[in-house]
Amino acid sequence: MKICLSCGKCCYNTEMELSKQDIIRIEDQNTLGLRKDDFCIETDGFLKLKNIDNHCIFLDPNTKHCKIYLFRPTGCKFYPLIFNQEKNKCVIDEDCPYKNNFYVHKPILKKNCRELRKWVSNELFNISD
């Protein structure tokens, strides 16, 4: 798998969902002093990354780099692999301009899809639950 070319496109108008573990890790590790309410919003009963000026709160818009890259949300680690709930399957996000750089080897794609499916099923939570 190749690495991201840091265009930042995936960080604009993000709808990235967060697990409890993501929130705890971000709160514990970020040196920005941010707490859950600073970087999370509730949408459709789920907690998601907050957007500031139409981009993820953790994106540096000048460098296009993530301020919390080493402990970024799990969904960001899988990207551009996403789980399409309507189709009930993993897909490569068509919005990623470099989507062809990722998951070119089927075994890696299948392994990551299993892990993503597990994360969506076991870790994401509806805050009304």
Cα separation of 16 and 79, whole Å? Answer: 10
Its pTM stands at: 0.87
Domain that holds residue 59: 9-122
What integer pLDDT is reported at residue 125 of this predicted model?
60
Residue 3 lies in a domain: no
DSSP character at residue 50: P
Residue 19 lies in a domain: yes
Residue 127 lies in a domain: no
Residue 52 lies in a domain: yes
Residue 1 lies in a domain: no
Indicate the number of domains in the chain.
1
pLDDT (tens, 9 = 90+) of the chain, 129 residues, equals 446 777 889 999 999 999 999 999 999 998 888 999 999 999 888 899 999 999 999 999 999 999 999 999 999 999 999 998 888 899 999 999 988 888 888 999 999 999 999 999 888 765 544
Residue 83 lies in a domain: yes
Nearest residue to 20 (alpha-carbon basis) of 46, 58, 52, 51: 46
